[in-house]
Structure 1
Amino acid sequence: MAFDGSAPDGPQAQDAPEWLEADGLGGYASGAADGVRTRRYHALLLTATTPPTHRFVLVNGVEAVVETGDGRHGLSSQRYLPDVLHPDGARRILSFHRDPWPTWVFGLPDGTEVRHEVFVEPHGGETVLTWRRTAGPPGPCRLEVRPLLTGRDHGALHQANDVFRFDAEATGGTVSWRPYAALPAATALTTGTYRHDPVWRRRVLYTVERERGLDHVEDVASPGAFAFDLAAAPAVMVLRAGDGRSGDAARHAADLAATERARRGAFGSGLRGAAAAYVVARGPGRTVVAGFPWFTDWGRDTFIAMRGLLLATGRLEEARAVLLGWAEAVDGGMLPNRFPDSGEAPEFNAVDASLWFVVAVHDTLDACAAAGAPVPEAEAERWRAAAEAILGSYSAGTRFGIRAEADGLLHAGQEGVQLTWMDAITDGHVVTPRRGKPVEIQALWINALEIAARRWSDGWREPADRARAAFAARFAAPAGGLYDIVDVDGAPGAVDASVRPNQVFAVGGLPFPLLEGAAARAVVDLVEAKLLTPLGLRTLSPDDPAFIPRYRGDLVRRDAAYHQGTAWPWLLGPFVQAWLRVRGGTAAAKAEAAGRFLAPLMRHLDDNGLGHVSEVVDGAAPHHAGGCPWQAWSLGELIRIRRMLDLDV
């Protein structure tokens, strides 16, 4: 992706697209293409002290000013209250490119051009910044770079205070600062000369946080500045958390760049490279971050996303490692919904996460067998034991009223607890409680039973068949499609006829469809007619009085809209699979699907979180993106769609 800064929709636009550089440990660097930090999460050095959680911003950004014969010119930008841009480097951007990593070219009035690059080296977690003069008249060209520090939780904001320590420790080209004793130091290895000059930059304004109804002003600290002579050599700064690295900054940066170019080149495509960003360390194993910048690893998201991010890209060893790690977390026949960012006890409020694990096990076994790399018996046995423990507990009954009932279907629900993927909760109020027997939970339950019956024990055949028969008898809605819930709130025969996308899982998105023929076609046609948008499926039909067209405003308003009309890109994966299944998966159907459903998603890769797919979009046109700019299952399902359509990834 590239654009010219002079274009009306270029980097001076209010909502510039955003870039992400992940470190493989849960940390990341991120920012906007116009260089203006608009989120609390935009930072150059953001580290996970207990990967992939406990994430802290050490270096928010830098203030960069270049001086030539005709004066001083800013190469960076930041907004301050009331709405002042300073410095004004955004207007000097000639171009921005995201491949192989974020790269800007700035133009000065005298014809000088400066190329600025940023990348993160995964696993080591170092952020490399370089500036070089690439054009211009002879003469002086000096660069001053001020690091801007906070030392705060990545979800918080920082204010000037007397405890903050500006002290610098400088040795052999390395300068370190430790603003707060409880956090690792921020260290810079550079080719420049450091001048200690502590200052506060107060009232920094984050416009996206303001739009989200959150606190949006903070103070950042600059302990000093680095001076570089761009007329003599490029400027290099390597940032890292923890103890400093001595040595030649230019050589070290060049070595890291060569390694990174080779690593990224080996992916062979931008989608594969983007997929790698979500796969991170958790202890000795691997897991999948649900989305950047604020999510950690969620069970539901992990098992859905890994099918595209890992299985469809051939990263089978990592898929196995993910499943092994999660299999160890089974407790009471359930897997955690998530591990909180601050390290508290795991949360188990998800009826579907454990069932998605069983599906992921099945898909991984199939993928490994197809690749001629069967899973070792001992490993497969651990997966089986975890899966059957889940099915056994669900059959007998476990937390939150989760239990198989006499008809074979799965009941789930407890007052005040959100258990399905439609999980928004505000001030203790569950927006979409969905207590009873939700349609996609039955599809998952029956698929999990079918998997167990085919792979592990004939004892699961009778419950699988009983549940399938009950589903066929109970979920067909007279108006067409399927009920969203039966036995609502535990009341026998009570139904919720809301037109939602969850019914699509009876036809697509899972290994074994529950419907065929006209019944399947009716579901797909209804979902297409009422819920399809260019970038996802709406969570509620616009015909419903409860439909909310925009995902906007403060947290309460956004949570109210989250599953009440907002569209989700990840749902296009199950939908496209269902759409193809009812058309026999013909070449003509695949060609039509590529143009109608895949093409808009591919264009979206350049619109919001560059190279990635957003978490949500508005249910109403023009379908502005919201939520996380970089969402794991959204990208994973795009990749899976490409595989369905026999396209390269």
Structure 2
Amino acid sequence: MRQENRPLVSNGGRGQAVYFFGKNDWRTFEQGAQKEWLVTNGIGGYASGTIINANTRKYHALLTAALNPPGWRMVLLSKLDERFTAGDCTYNLAANEHKSGFSELGFVHLQQVAINPIPTFTYSFGDIFLEKTVFMVHGQNTSVVLYRVLNGAEPGLLTLTPMVNCRGHHFMTSAGEINFTQSKVKGGVMLASREDMPSLLLTCDAGEYIADGKWFNGMFYAAERERGENPYEDLYLPGVFKIPFAAGESKTITVVASTAETGGLDGEELLRAEKNRLKELVTKAGYRDHLARGLVRAADAFIVQRRSTGKKTVIAGYPWFADWGRDAMIALPGLTLVTGRFQEAREILDTFAGHCQKGLLPNAFFDGLADPVFNTVDASLWFVNAVYKYLVYTADLEFVRHNLYDTVKEIIDWYMKGTDYDIVMDQDGLLSAGSPCVQLTWMDAKVDDWVVTPRHGKAVEINALWYNAIRVFNLLSVLLGRDALYADLPDKIKASFQQEFWDESGGYLYDVVTPAGADSSVRPNQLLAASLPYSMLSREQAVLVVRKVWRELYVTYGIRSLSPWDPSYQGVYRGDRLRRDGAYHQGTAWSWLIGPFITAYRRAHNYSADSLTQARLFVAPFRSQLRDHGVGYISEIFDGDEPAFPRGCIAQAWGVAEVLRAYVEDVLEIQPPGRKKIKELEGGKNH
């Protein structure tokens, strides 16, 4: 605790983009709950809530700890509610909904919220100001709540009520289900709960802790009801912190929630350290543009440490996704290369290369499984593309030679001769994969035994990636002084692709080709044939593909997964799991596809001045999207129907990454620094 005489300040520092919100953003409880904040700790843990400090999801908490980074995420501290008594008046700052229908509306005292991405909440009541800042200590399962309070003319008392838990973040708790025991420690309390789970340390550097021990029954989570999930939970109230104030007194108070022994932590020093860390990342990336700088900061949340490998990996999205191979490889260029974080890029590539089996990269690392699952056809092909992007950004041939080339070769060899899940190159050079009961592409929704969008056979984006992978492998072989083993294969693949996938009358690409015929559904997967580094399309074909996607699939914040003119189209993503998964790839718009769309658009139009103007228009709406849903981040998905309401994860890795990559490369026109050197080397080798 530190005495304060200076005024309260809520800003992000010079050059930092801050998202400000005021009373017009929470005129009702429902309106205020639509915008959420997120802070992370670099090992998979996070804290998250709404701008009115009401928890509306089971994932909202002040401390969700990653006990086996980045997995085993446990909700340990759900909330910290405040009341302030001055004279005869008590001001309740808490915002909660109860299953009885009763609501606490403490957000009426909320004056301003600033997020940068660290959230600061400023309350004004009577002649009193209270500022609350929430952040995490990087690399630790430690959350800090920093209060700055300027008391008024009467003596006051601040009461802080922690609501604690001990559960996996996908689950819910009922009263009495957990036997909490508590022991007082200096400045607070140590709470033990489930066997083999770490204790929760709660400390406050001012006032005193008074033990109690009761349950808050029936916390209501509106977002869970909308998702068709159980919306009610009980939370344990171990006691309260009481901090007295003299008339006119100003204090800064640090509250710490942690799974580790922490003593004497200074909240202001910790906050400065975290802000400086984020500032250094922005400085390293080197962009002056505010949108690019904001996305660089957002990208940091997804780059996390994996304990099992000792290297970095990628969290696919918050709050509920783990690290997925496909998502990591698609996101890698935007998260690490565009941001200048080349060491992290090397670690991520190493992490997934080390888990390659029979040419397959892991689809996902799931809690509770000793080994990752491998049911994906495209993660390995995206890996090859990520290797290419790494090379043109860094020109680091030695790392590719010693760490990546053999994995790329392994992927190509296994895909040619055949590997698991019926993945194999056909006699025509095209790649076939899967069966009706297995989902292998990114359109992978499955409810029990129902594969919503099976896409088995020869999928358009898989073969675009396959052609790209062969070209990349040949390039790597030449650059490393080896023989290009498959010099003639790209021409064969291209000829077969043109014959099988191009719809001359419609001017677009079929989505899947099977022995039974072609699936003529208009989907965004064809974009990759026009956006990947190596394309099989003529410029005229690319123009037609982009135009088709723009006309039928583009919405403001993403690209629809299916044309609204298709009878199977589902334009709204909401309801229980069956309804949501039924719409996930059947019309729902995806933010990450904006990246390939912009890249394909600019390339198809030969990077003309007019195409640059249009690309700026495609990017512009994301400046406001960063103020919505997950503030400072880009949402996973949006309704296919206008007004394209944000859905799914509030912060998605490949959404942030692909918007950032396309913005830097195709709008700001900042080219990868190693590209010129690689082109020179390639030219020299070919001569």
The 8 Å contact of residues 70 and 322 in structure 2, kept in 1 or not, is answered as yes
Aligned to 2:675: none
Q: Say whether 1:119 aligns with 2:145.
A: no
Instruction: Please report how far the alpha carbon of residue 126 of structure 1 lies from its aligned counterpart in structure 2 after TM superposition.
Output: 1.8
In 2 relative to 1, CA 229–264 (structure 1 residues): closer, same or farther, beyond 3 Å?
Answer: farther
301, 313, 335: which one pairs with 1:287?
Answer: 313
2:157 to 142, 162, 167: 142
The counterpart of 1:602, out of the listed 599, 623, 627, is 623
**Residues 540, 83 of structure 1: alpha-carbon distance in 2 compared, 3 angstrom cutoff:** same
Letter matched to residue 526 of structure 1: K
CA shift at 1:246, angstroms? 2.4
Mapped partners of 1:299, 1:446: distance in 2: 20
Shift of 1:261: 2.0
1:176 to 190, 193, 205: 190
- Report the CA distance between 1:356 and its aligned residue: 0.3
CA contact (8 A) 2:316 2:328 kept: yes
Matched with 1:239 is 257
Report the equivalent of 1:465.
Answer: 491
Counterpart amino acid of residue 592 in structure 2 = W
Decide whether the 8 Å contact of 1:54 with 1:343 is kept in 2.
no
Q: Which runs of 5+ in 1 are unaligned?
A: none
Q: Is the 8 A contact 2:26 2:52 kept in 1?
A: no
- Deviation of 1:364 after TM superposition, in Å, equals 0.4
1:98 aligned to 107, 115, 119, which one?
115
Taking the aligned partners of 2:454 and 2:328, their CA distance within structure 1 comes to: 22
Question: Structure 2: how far apart are the matches of 1:72 and 1:145?
Answer: 13
Q: Deviations over 1:442-472 (max 9, x none)?
A: 0000000010111114112222221111112
What is residue 206 of structure 1 aligned with on the other side? 221
Is the Cα–Cα contact under 8 Å of residues 103 and 118 in structure 1 kept in the other structure? yes
Q: For 2:524 and 2:276, locate their aligned partners in 1 and report how far apart those are by CA, in whole Å.
A: 41
Matching residue of 1:422? 443
1:342 correspondence with 2:342: no
Higher mean displacement: 437-446 or 7-16: 7-16
Deviates more, 1:432-441 or 1:113-122: 113-122
The structural deviation recorded for 1:16 is: 2.6
Q: In 1, distance between residues paired with 2:332 and 2:27? A: 34
The alpha-carbon deviation at position 332 of structure 1 amounts to: 1.4
Q: How many residues are matched?
A: 631
Aligned equivalents of 2:454, 2:275: Cα separation in 1: 47
Gaps of 5+ in 2: 1-18, 283-292, 478-482, 672-687
Distance 2:372 2:439 in 1: 15
The answer to whether the Cα contact below 8 Å between 1:43 and 1:59 also exists between their aligned partners in 2 is yes
- Pairing 1:314–2:340 present: yes
Q: Is the 8 A contact 1:178 1:186 kept in 2?
A: yes
Q: Tell me the amino acid that sits aligned with residue 323 of structure 2.
A: D
Find 2:359's aligned residue among 305, 322, 333: 333
* Aligned residue among 8, 22, 31 for 1:4: 22
User: In angstroms, what is the RMSD of aligned CA positions?
Assistant: 1.7
Q: Does 1:228 align with 2:243?
A: yes
- Give yes or no for contact 1:481–1:503 (8 Å, CA) kept in 2: no
**SS of the residue 1:219 aligns to:** strand
Cα shift readout 1:461-509 (whole Å, capped 9, x = no counterpart): 2222211111122211133233434442xx16x100000011111111x
1:218-275 residue CA offsets vs partner (Å, 9 max, x unmatched)? 1000111111124452322011113x2223x4xx212211211211222333221111
Q: Which moved more, 1:225-234 or 1:199-208?
A: 225-234
Change (3 A) 1:427 1:7: closer
Partner SS state of residue 485, structure 2: helix
Q: 1:187 aligns with which of 201, 204, 212?
A: 201
Choose the corresponding residue for 1:474, options 470, 485, 500.
500
Distance in 2, Cα, partners of 1:331 & 1:296: 20
**Closer, same or farther: CA 219–619 of 1 in aligned 2, 3 Å:** same
Distance 1:44 1:275 in 2: 21
Of 510, 529, 542, the residue aligned with 1:506 is: 529
> Are residue 453 (structure 1) and residue 474 (structure 2) matched?
yes
Contact 2:25–2:32 (Cα < 8 Å) also in 1: no
Give TM-score, length-normalised by structure 1.
0.94
Q: Verify: 1:630 aligned to 2:654, yes or no.
A: no
Q: Structure 1 residues 162, 631: CA separation in 2 closer, same or farther (over 3 Å shift)?
A: closer
- How far has the Cα of 1:424 moved from its partner? 0.4
The separation in 1 between residues aligned to 2:497 and 2:175, in whole angstroms, is 60
User: What TM-score do you get using the length of structure 2 for normalisation?
Assistant: 0.89
Distance in 2 separating the partners of 1:648 and 1:472:
32
Are residue 528 (structure 1) and residue 528 (structure 2) matched?
no
Identity within the alignment, %: 36
Deviation at 1:375, TM superposition (A): 4.9
Q: Residue 15 and residue 226 in structure 1: after superposition, are their counterparts in 2 closer, same or farther (change >3 A)?
A: closer
Partner of 1:407: 428
Question: Does 1:573 find its partner at 2:595?
Answer: yes
